[in-house]
Amino acid sequence: MADILGEDIMGDDYELEGDDDLEGAGRTRIARPSLRLPPKPTWRKMGVAPGVSAPSALLQPLPLRGEQNNGVFTSNVTSILFQGIPQRPFRGERLVIAARQTASSAIQLRVQTLTVGTNVQSVQVADMPIEAFAAQAYDVRMKLQPAQPGVLVQCQIYAVGTFQQNEEIPCAVVLLGHAIG
Protein backbone atom coordinates (compact mmCIF):
# COMPACT_ATOMS: atom_id res chain seq x y z
CA MET A 1 0.00 0.00 0.00
CA ALA A 2 1.22 3.42 -0.82
CA ASP A 3 0.71 6.42 1.34
CA ILE A 4 0.69 9.95 -0.14
CA LEU A 5 0.31 12.86 2.27
CA GLY A 6 -0.93 10.46 4.87
CA GLU A 7 -3.74 9.06 2.74
CA ASP A 8 -3.96 5.56 1.35
CA ILE A 9 -4.39 5.11 -2.39
CA MET A 10 -7.43 3.02 -2.93
CA GLY A 11 -7.33 0.13 -5.37
CA ASP A 12 -3.57 -0.47 -5.55
CA ASP A 13 -3.98 -3.99 -4.23
CA TYR A 14 -6.46 -5.28 -6.84
CA GLU A 15 -6.02 -8.42 -8.92
CA LEU A 16 -7.47 -9.25 -12.29
CA GLU A 17 -9.49 -12.37 -12.44
CA GLY A 18 -9.48 -14.45 -15.59
CA ASP A 19 -6.54 -12.68 -17.23
CA ASP A 20 -5.73 -15.89 -19.07
CA ASP A 21 -9.01 -15.49 -20.98
CA LEU A 22 -7.89 -12.24 -22.63
CA GLU A 23 -8.68 -12.09 -26.33
CA GLY A 24 -5.78 -13.31 -28.50
CA ALA A 25 -3.73 -14.69 -25.62
CA GLY A 26 -3.64 -18.26 -26.92
CA ARG A 27 -3.78 -17.57 -30.66
CA THR A 28 -1.12 -19.20 -32.85
CA ARG A 29 0.50 -17.36 -35.73
CA ILE A 30 -0.20 -18.33 -39.31
CA ALA A 31 2.90 -19.52 -41.15
CA ARG A 32 3.72 -17.38 -44.17
CA PRO A 33 6.14 -18.33 -46.93
CA SER A 34 9.56 -16.73 -46.38
CA LEU A 35 11.35 -14.77 -49.07
CA ARG A 36 14.28 -16.75 -50.47
CA LEU A 37 17.13 -14.64 -51.77
CA PRO A 38 19.40 -15.86 -54.58
CA PRO A 39 22.97 -16.75 -53.60
CA LYS A 40 25.55 -13.97 -53.48
CA PRO A 41 27.56 -13.47 -56.66
CA THR A 42 31.17 -14.68 -56.56
CA TRP A 43 32.51 -11.13 -56.36
CA ARG A 44 30.62 -10.64 -53.06
CA LYS A 45 32.03 -13.60 -51.15
CA MET A 46 33.58 -11.25 -48.58
CA GLY A 47 30.15 -9.87 -47.67
CA VAL A 48 31.08 -6.34 -48.71
CA ALA A 49 28.59 -4.25 -50.69
CA PRO A 50 29.58 -2.77 -54.06
CA GLY A 51 31.60 0.40 -53.65
CA VAL A 52 32.57 -0.39 -50.05
CA SER A 53 36.24 -1.11 -49.43
CA ALA A 54 37.12 -4.36 -47.71
CA PRO A 55 38.36 -4.01 -44.12
CA SER A 56 41.80 -2.37 -43.88
CA ALA A 57 42.10 -1.87 -47.65
CA LEU A 58 41.42 1.76 -48.50
CA LEU A 59 41.21 3.20 -52.02
CA GLN A 60 43.55 6.16 -51.90
CA PRO A 61 45.37 8.48 -54.30
CA LEU A 62 49.11 8.50 -54.84
CA PRO A 63 49.91 11.87 -56.43
CA LEU A 64 52.82 11.73 -58.85
CA ARG A 65 54.78 14.98 -58.78
CA GLY A 66 56.27 16.45 -61.95
CA GLU A 67 60.05 16.58 -61.56
CA GLN A 68 60.63 19.08 -64.38
CA ASN A 69 59.04 22.54 -64.45
CA ASN A 70 56.45 21.51 -61.81
CA GLY A 71 54.61 19.40 -64.39
CA VAL A 72 54.09 22.19 -66.95
CA PHE A 73 54.96 21.44 -70.59
CA THR A 74 56.45 24.31 -72.62
CA SER A 75 58.49 24.65 -75.80
CA ASN A 76 61.61 24.15 -73.64
CA VAL A 77 60.23 21.30 -71.48
CA THR A 78 58.72 18.59 -73.69
CA SER A 79 59.30 15.55 -71.46
CA ILE A 80 58.40 15.29 -67.78
CA LEU A 81 58.95 12.47 -65.32
CA PHE A 82 56.14 12.24 -62.76
CA GLN A 83 56.97 10.23 -59.65
CA GLY A 84 55.68 9.35 -56.22
CA ILE A 85 56.82 7.26 -53.28
CA PRO A 86 54.10 5.48 -51.26
CA GLN A 87 54.51 5.50 -47.49
CA ARG A 88 52.41 2.34 -46.99
CA PRO A 89 52.09 -0.84 -49.08
CA PHE A 90 50.24 0.27 -52.22
CA ARG A 91 48.80 -1.39 -55.31
CA GLY A 92 47.82 0.98 -58.12
CA GLU A 93 44.64 0.36 -60.09
CA ARG A 94 43.77 3.51 -62.02
CA LEU A 95 46.03 6.12 -63.56
CA VAL A 96 44.35 9.52 -63.93
CA ILE A 97 45.99 12.26 -66.00
CA ALA A 98 44.60 15.78 -66.31
CA ALA A 99 46.12 18.24 -68.79
CA ARG A 100 44.80 21.68 -69.68
CA GLN A 101 45.21 22.33 -73.36
CA THR A 102 43.75 25.19 -75.34
CA ALA A 103 41.40 24.37 -78.19
CA SER A 104 43.89 25.63 -80.76
CA SER A 105 46.76 23.54 -79.40
CA ALA A 106 48.29 21.02 -81.78
CA ILE A 107 50.28 19.31 -79.01
CA GLN A 108 49.64 15.70 -78.11
CA LEU A 109 50.73 14.39 -74.72
CA ARG A 110 51.68 10.72 -74.59
CA VAL A 111 52.56 8.31 -71.80
CA GLN A 112 55.87 6.67 -72.57
CA THR A 113 56.30 4.40 -69.54
CA LEU A 114 54.68 3.57 -66.24
CA THR A 115 56.93 1.77 -63.77
CA VAL A 116 56.72 0.42 -60.25
CA GLY A 117 60.26 0.14 -58.98
CA THR A 118 62.22 -1.19 -61.98
CA ASN A 119 59.26 -3.06 -63.50
CA VAL A 120 57.46 -1.64 -66.53
CA GLN A 121 53.70 -2.00 -66.04
CA SER A 122 52.63 -2.60 -69.64
CA VAL A 123 52.86 -5.78 -71.68
CA GLN A 124 54.54 -3.87 -74.51
CA VAL A 125 56.69 -0.77 -74.36
CA ALA A 126 54.76 1.66 -76.55
CA ASP A 127 53.43 5.20 -76.32
CA MET A 128 49.85 5.68 -75.16
CA PRO A 129 47.72 8.83 -75.53
CA ILE A 130 46.87 10.52 -72.25
CA GLU A 131 43.18 10.51 -73.24
CA ALA A 132 43.18 6.81 -72.32
CA PHE A 133 43.83 7.93 -68.73
CA ALA A 134 41.45 10.91 -68.56
CA ALA A 135 39.17 11.23 -65.55
CA GLN A 136 36.16 10.49 -67.80
CA ALA A 137 37.75 7.37 -69.36
CA TYR A 138 35.63 4.25 -68.91
CA ASP A 139 36.80 0.78 -67.88
CA VAL A 140 40.49 1.61 -67.65
CA ARG A 141 41.35 -0.13 -64.38
CA MET A 142 44.64 -1.94 -64.16
CA LYS A 143 46.22 -4.19 -61.58
CA LEU A 144 49.74 -2.91 -61.11
CA GLN A 145 52.42 -4.67 -59.14
CA PRO A 146 52.34 -3.90 -55.43
CA ALA A 147 54.77 -1.26 -54.22
CA GLN A 148 56.32 -1.54 -50.80
CA PRO A 149 56.86 1.69 -48.84
CA GLY A 150 59.69 3.70 -50.39
CA VAL A 151 59.48 2.10 -53.87
CA LEU A 152 59.50 4.70 -56.65
CA VAL A 153 56.41 4.81 -58.91
CA GLN A 154 57.11 6.70 -62.14
CA CYS A 155 55.20 7.86 -65.20
CA GLN A 156 57.11 9.40 -68.12
CA ILE A 157 55.02 11.75 -70.32
CA TYR A 158 56.22 13.66 -73.35
CA ALA A 159 54.78 16.19 -75.78
CA VAL A 160 54.56 15.70 -79.54
CA GLY A 161 54.15 18.69 -81.86
CA THR A 162 55.19 22.31 -82.07
CA PHE A 163 54.30 24.67 -79.27
CA GLN A 164 52.82 28.06 -80.09
CA GLN A 165 54.49 31.13 -78.64
CA ASN A 166 54.08 31.27 -74.83
CA GLU A 167 51.96 28.08 -74.85
CA GLU A 168 51.97 26.09 -71.62
CA ILE A 169 50.22 22.82 -70.80
CA PRO A 170 49.95 22.07 -67.07
CA CYS A 171 49.61 18.38 -66.31
CA ALA A 172 48.69 16.50 -63.13
CA VAL A 173 49.04 12.74 -62.58
CA VAL A 174 47.42 10.66 -59.83
CA LEU A 175 47.54 6.90 -59.35
CA LEU A 176 44.49 5.56 -57.49
CA GLY A 177 44.85 2.26 -55.69
CA HIS A 178 44.63 0.30 -52.49
CA ALA A 179 46.79 1.19 -49.52
CA ILE A 180 47.02 -1.40 -46.77
CA GLY A 181 46.94 -0.24 -43.17
51 domain residue, yes or no:
no
82 domain residue, yes or no:
yes
- Domain containing 84 equals 57-180
Tally of structural domains, the chain: 1
Q: pLDDT of 53-101, one tens digit each?
A: 555 555 799 999 999 999 999 999 999 999 999 999 999 999 999 998 8
6 domain residue, yes or no:
no
42 domain residue, yes or no:
no
Q: How far apart are CA 126 and CA 145, in angstroms?
A: 19
Provide the CATH number for the domain around residue 84: 2.60.120
pLDDT of residue 1: 47
Tell me the whole-structure pTM to 2 decimals: 0.66
Q: How far apart are CA 74 and CA 157, in angstroms?
A: 13
84 domain residue, yes or no:
yes
pLDDT of residue 44: 61
33 domain residue, yes or no:
no
